Structures are given as C-alpha cells and as structure tokens.
Homo-oligomer: A and B are copies of this chain.
Amino acid sequence: MLPQELLVSLPPLPPEHRFAASSGRFETPGQVAAIATRLAKISKNILITRADARTAALVKRRIRKAEYFPLSGAIRVWGDRTVRGKGKIAVVCAGTSDIPVAEEAEITAQVMGNDVIAIHDIGVADIHRLMSNRERLTQARVIVVVAGMEGALPGVVGGMVSCPVIAVPTSVGYGASFNGLAALLGMLNSCGSNVTVVNIDNGFGAGYVASLINRV
C-alpha cells in the first residue's frame, strides 16, 4: 500500500499547497521537508500524514515545533490552537488495531481548529460499554467512527445519536476482510440514515470533512 503525505493548514492554503501525493519514490524525505518549510512561512498549522521516521526527523530539524506521531505517521505543526469548530468532534474506534487511523482523524481535526473527544475502546460486541459511552457520544456535533473487520460500529453508533456520522473502514482484519472491503461494504449498507463513508484507512479525509461540518 502506498503511503500518503498530505499537507493542510488553517486557514486553507491555495490548492497548489494541498497535495494528496503519495509514494516515497517521488516525494523524497528531503522534498517533503522542503515543502513543509515553505508552508511554515505562510501557515501556523501544518499536517503531514503517513510520514516515516526519516522524513519526520528531517522536518523536525527544520521546524522546531513539529511533533511526530509514529502510530499514524502524522507530523503536526500546531502553532494556532484557536478552536474554530462550533461543537465537539468525537473520534471512536474499537481497539488497538484501529488506533492509527483514528489518530490520523483526530490530529487532522485538531489542527483544523476542533475540540476532539477520543473514544478508543468501544466495540459492537460489548453493548454495556456502548451504553455507558452514550453521554460522551451525544455531546459531539459530528462523529467519526473508525472500524475494521465487520465494520458494524458506525451503524450502531449512528443509531445512538442524531448527528452526522462519518464512517472510516480500516484494512485491519484477515481472510474474508479482504483488506477492508468487508468493512467498507458493511458501512455502505448501514441501516443508519446518518452515516456516510470515506475510503479505507482514510482517517485524514474523515477528520477533514468532520471539521467542515463542524464549521458550517
């Protein structure tokens, strides 16, 4: 699978600075660091996703404030921490395996000016735990739900709240999960009318759209 490096900032930069590029074959760590340095001059907040340790080291050498999150590969420059979102964004996942994608969504939402509630330990197989998180979920204005394997969590969470839910299938699983396809199909067929879906493992996209919704 190809890594994805993404740079965003707040307020949004002109499109030539946002790039959904990929494969380290083309963007060398040096190139990413150079772009980041250029961006740092015009924006207080920068997000680079799916960077490896070497790229992170190069970026941190040039931009002091840069932080690296090895689980998701995100590099965050978070100079402007003003909260711009009107409510809270909850990011929900079931367990350790989905945390990298959830983290990508959380950091994206934070760097775009949102207050984020991270709920990393609820799954469809434990209905009591789901119930006991109800209050935290209803506090959110938008919810991102990250799930692999059967992908059932967004539908269940969607039924517990009345706000928009953005579902992110992950490639976590084995066998008939077919690298996230099972979760993706499950989410697209969710009974919850408040559920929309983004690409497999696309934590960035989910955090981005959640931010847009939270600002409308």
> Which A residues are within 8 Å of any B CB, using their own CB?
1-2, 4, 6, 8, 12, 15, 18-23, 25-27, 71, 86-87, 94-97, 99-100, 123-127, 129-131, 141-142, 149-152, 155-156, 158-160, 162-164, 166, 169, 171-202, 204-205, 208-209, 212-214, 216
Contact = CB atoms under 8 A, between A and B. Distances in A.
Contacts of A166: 196
A30 to B, nearest CB: 14
Nearest to A156: B124
A198 B197 contact: yes
Contacts of A208: 193-194
Contact of A199 (B175, B194, B213): B175
A138 to B, nearest CB: 12
Given A22-B97, A195-B198, 4 more contacts: A123-B159, A152-B186, A195-B209, A213-B213
Contact of A124 (B159, B172, B209): B159
A76 B213 CA distance: 28
Contacts of A22: 96-97, 172-174
Instruction: Choose among A8, A86, A166, A172 the residue with the greatest number of B CB atoms under 10 Å from its CB.
Output: A172
A149 B193 contact: no
A125 B162 CA distance: 11
A71 B28 CA distance: 12
